[in-house]
Structure 1
Amino acid sequence: YTFNSIFEHLRQVNNFSEIGANQLKTQKLFYLSIKAIFSPIWGFVYGYIVKFGFLDGWYGLIIAIISSTETFLKYTKAIVKLKALKVANCDVIHISSMKTWRGGEQQVANLVLGQIKRGLLVYMFIKKGSSLMSFCIANEIPFSIIKFNNGFNIYSAFKIKKLSKRLQAKVIHMHCSPSHTLSIFSKLLGNPAKLVLSRRVIFPVRSNVLSYKKFNYSGISKIICVSESTKKVMAQTVEAVEKLNIIYDGIDINKFRQVYAPHLKRSLGIEGKKVIGNISAVVAEKDYFTFVDTAEIVLNKIPDVHFLIIGSGAEYEPIKKYISIKKLGANITMLGFRKDIPELLSIIDVFLMTSTMEGLGSTILDAFASKVPVVATNVGGIPEIVLHESTGLLSSPKDFESLSDNVIRLLNDKL
């Protein structure tokens, strides 16, 4: 059997029924009531008789009863949640199709928790199995699962419209391209909520008719740009520039206060060494090749330092291979995706960001909160938070010689 005890099985039943209830609570009350009565009965018959569960004796009976109980709990919890939704108006519905956890998802989480703290009623539409789904479950935030299909899913758009009307939602906040498309479809289907779009990347809008129509849709009330640089890029496409507003990313500075994790240096075998690190997805625009080139120059001048690459992504293996080609494997450690960011920042002496484009570079804010000096490239929104010679040191993108000089300068200042 897959469980070590009945109690372990029951805990799993409670968790799974909660997830199932969140996916069902947008259904009609009559449908849920019928399913709550008959589905558990059929589940027991199917598991115990049709699937020959009775051949397993006492254990087969217990499993059949527990499985049917899970089905009953799933529908009854959905009924309770649906009734709660009917009496509660919603201030904001957030929609995001992202499955993994990167800076954008952290910002969505910060925003949602901040709104809840201010007393707003918040709801989310997310992808099944996503990191945001785990976030919602952990923080008891109501959510529904929808299929995004790059935004071209009329059923999901109808579902958004239906729940928005039921909750009398005031605002739909779109956090990605598929949610942008779906929300416009829901608006065309009669969704009365106002639409607000967040734009955190600095990539130009695609030069096709569909993208142009999406960003100039009259039903969008505001477009929130993460930096002045992002706003300038958006202004090249959006005709109603008065809709463009700048709201910089925020962080919870309390997470970074009084954090001290010397055990991390011990576990990495880098005790007594100065540490230079970056925390970001390992993707093309982060330009970790320049990070490695910068590290090579620094190590030639100050051998007793170590570099950390914290993050994962499409360029992970190419960067790992590049480090091997440079014979820097003993000096550069790739840690992959980590959740203990405050602890890792507490052992970093210089934060080095070598991006070729950034909407803002919000992990720099984490470094600031951890009192870690920053060396970065002067691209996108970075110069709006890293003021050269004031709050950090800036270099041109791909200029690993200038970047290494700035890193060495800060290391010498701290020695």
Structure 2
Amino acid sequence: MRVLHFTTSNVWRGHEQMIIDIYESFRDNGFVENQLIVCSTDSEIYKVATERNLRVQTFDFKSEYDLRFAKKFKKIVTEDGSDVIMIHNSKAHTISVLSAIFFGLKIPMVLCRTLIKNIGTNFFRKYKYNFKGIKKIICISDSVVDILKPSIKNHDSMTVIGSVVDTDRFVNSKKKGIPSQRI
């Protein structure tokens, strides 16, 4: 299996760390044949991915409604031979759906959702969450599932995979910051 991870985020937060962790776990456990991270040029995830020698391809785009980039995205996915697209944020979600609608992208998509926020009544937002190409919505918690339920037609498409931290990373690390004081 070939997995393409897609994010438009330029910052480094927990979800970007999660993308790296998923990539490395899939690789280290032999779950997938090949992976590619598609991310914004000069984004923080690009810097981390290249430092760790992960496959990464960058892009520039004007907005999540950039149809030229949606066309280019389909080409990236096709040339990579991806079997699944893991969508990691809202703008990437929009671009993926537009690429499917306007340019025939037919690769199954898995949406990763960490945000506990209602998607609202906006027609396109509701459409993209119920888009037939989205085969699974991975939610970080039951709270995310609960907030999405009113807007998602197929509740079976949602599954919870909680976030985890590899505590071994911190065993021998030097403590930083202000020591706590007991009262």
| Both structures adopt the same fold (TM-score exceeding 0.5) | yes
SS at 2:135's partner residue? strand
CA distance in 2, matches of 1:148, 1:211: 20
Residues 64 and 94 in structure 2, CA contact (< 8 A), matched pair in contact too: yes
State the match for 2:136 in structure 1. 222
Residues 88 and 111 in structure 2, CA contact (< 8 A), matched pair in contact too: yes
CA distance in 1, matches of 2:161, 2:77: 25
State the match for 1:331 in structure 2. none
Q: Which amino acid aligns with 2:86?
A: H
Return the structure number with greater relative CO, CA threshold 8 A, min gap 6: 2
SS at 2:111's partner residue? strand
State the match for 2:73 in structure 1. 160
Residues 84 and 110 in structure 2, CA contact (< 8 A), matched pair in contact too: yes
Residues 96 and 126 in structure 1, CA contact (< 8 A), matched pair in contact too: yes
SS at 2:57's partner residue? strand
CA deviations 1:290-321 (Å, max 9, x no partner) are xxxxxxxxxxxxxxx3xxxxxxxxxxxxxxxx
How many aligned residue pairs are there? 180
Residues 97 and 148 in structure 1, CA contact (< 8 A), matched pair in contact too: no
Q: CA deviation at 1:260?
A: 4.2
Q: Which amino acid aligns with 1:92?
A: V
Q: 1:107 aligns with which of 8, 13, 18?
A: 18
1:147 aligns with 2:53: no
SS at 2:69's partner residue? helix
Q: 1:183 to 1:230 in 2, by over 3 A?
A: same
Q: CA deviation at 1:115?
A: 1.4
Q: CA deviation at 1:204?
A: 0.8
SS at 1:105's partner residue? helix
Matches within 5 A, 1:247-266: 247-261=161-175, 264=176
Q: Which amino acid aligns with 1:244?
A: M
1:93 aligns with 2:4: yes
Q: Percent identity?
A: 23
Residues 100 and 131 in structure 1, CA contact (< 8 A), matched pair in contact too: yes
TM, length-normalised to structure 1: 0.41
CA distance in 1, matches of 2:63, 2:150: 24
Q: CA deviation at 1:164?
A: 1.8
Q: CA deviation at 1:206?
A: 2.7
Q: CA deviation at 1:221?
A: 0.2
CA distance in 2, matches of 1:148, 1:94: 17
Matches within 5 A, 1:320-331: none
Which structure is higher in strand share?
2
Q: CA deviation at 1:147?
A: 2.9
CA distance in 1, matches of 2:173, 2:58: 36
Q: Which amino acid aligns with 2:140?
A: V
SS at 1:129's partner residue? coil
Residues 106 and 133 in structure 2, CA contact (< 8 A), matched pair in contact too: no
State the match for 2:38 in structure 1. 125
Residues 87 and 112 in structure 2, CA contact (< 8 A), matched pair in contact too: yes
Residues 107 and 133 in structure 2, CA contact (< 8 A), matched pair in contact too: no
Structure label with greater radius of gyration: 1
Q: 1:198 aligns with which of 112, 119, 137?
A: 112
SS at 1:173's partner residue? strand
Q: Which amino acid aligns with 2:127?
A: K
State the match for 1:211 in structure 2. 125
Unaligned runs of 5+ in 1: 1-89, 276-304, 306-410
Q: Which amino acid aligns with 1:112?
A: Y
TM, length-normalised to structure 2: 0.90
CA distance in 2, matches of 1:150, 1:226: 26
Q: 1:183 aligns with which of 66, 88, 96?
A: 96
1:240 aligns with 2:154: yes
- Two-structure CA RMSD over aligned residues (Å): 1.8
